Structures are given as C-alpha cells and as structure tokens.
Amino acid sequence: MAKTMEMPKLASMKRTPEDIRQDQGESPSIEAIAPDYPYGLCIHMDRDEMDKLGMTDMPKVGTELTLCAKVKVTRVSQSAVEGADEEASIDMQITDLGVV
C-alpha cells in the first residue's frame, strides 16, 4: 500500500530587512541592490529536466508553480540555431520551502 505524503507547511524564504543589513555590512547603498531571496534558492532547468517533469509548454514569467516548494519563474529562454537542436531553459526562484 502506497503511503501518502502530507504537504508540508510552506515558510516564506524572503529575506527580511534585518537579513539584508547583516549581509551588506555598513554600506547602505548595497541595500538597494540586495536580492530579496538568499543565494542558492534559484533553480535552473534545461529541456531535459523540464521533459522529465512533463513541462511541454513554457510558463510565463511571473507564473508560480509548486515543487514541494513555491517558486517564481524569473527567466525563460528558447533559441534555435540552424543545424542544431532547439534549446530551452527556465530559471525559478524558490520563495517558500517546507520540510517534512
């Protein structure tokens, strides 16, 4: 019998103003360019990974998807070059994570 996994409560991973100040040291000008989410919480997938997930259509930038984490699509890219296979990729920013 297959055990069903309960969806964990998702927690926002967005950096607080205090987190941003701790990362920037004393220079206030960095606050304006500091990212909203910590480094390492962005996922990049090429066509192979998207195919494994059954993603046949490219989502629009700003679309939210669920992976057992909430992510925001931050970049989509498609290109074709004569004589080569079409390339496609997607970048997603993890915004909320849950751990079972």
Report if residue 2 sits inside a domain.
no
Which pTM does this prediction carry?
0.56
With beta carbons less than 8 A apart as the criterion, state whether 49 and 43 touch.
no
Report if residue 89 sits inside a domain.
yes
Which of 63, 69, 65, 67 has its CA nearest to residue 9? 69
Report if residue 4 sits inside a domain.
no
Q: How many CA atoms lie within 13 A of 77 on its CB side?
A: 11
Distance of alpha carbon 35 from alpha carbon 64, whole angstroms: 18
Report if residue 1 sits inside a domain.
no
Model pLDDT for residues 50-65, shown as the tens digit of each residue: 888 888 889 999 998 8
Report if residue 73 sits inside a domain.
yes
Q: How many CA atoms lie within 13 A of 50 on its CB side?
A: 20
Report if residue 85 sits inside a domain.
yes
For residue 41, report the phi and psi dihedrals to the nearest 5 degrees: -100, 25
State how many domains the chain has. Answer: 1
- Domain of residue 47 covers 11-97
Report if residue 6 sits inside a domain.
no
Model pLDDT for residues 65-100, shown as the tens digit of each residue: 887 888 999 999 999 999 999 999 999 999 887 754
81: tokens are 């070059």
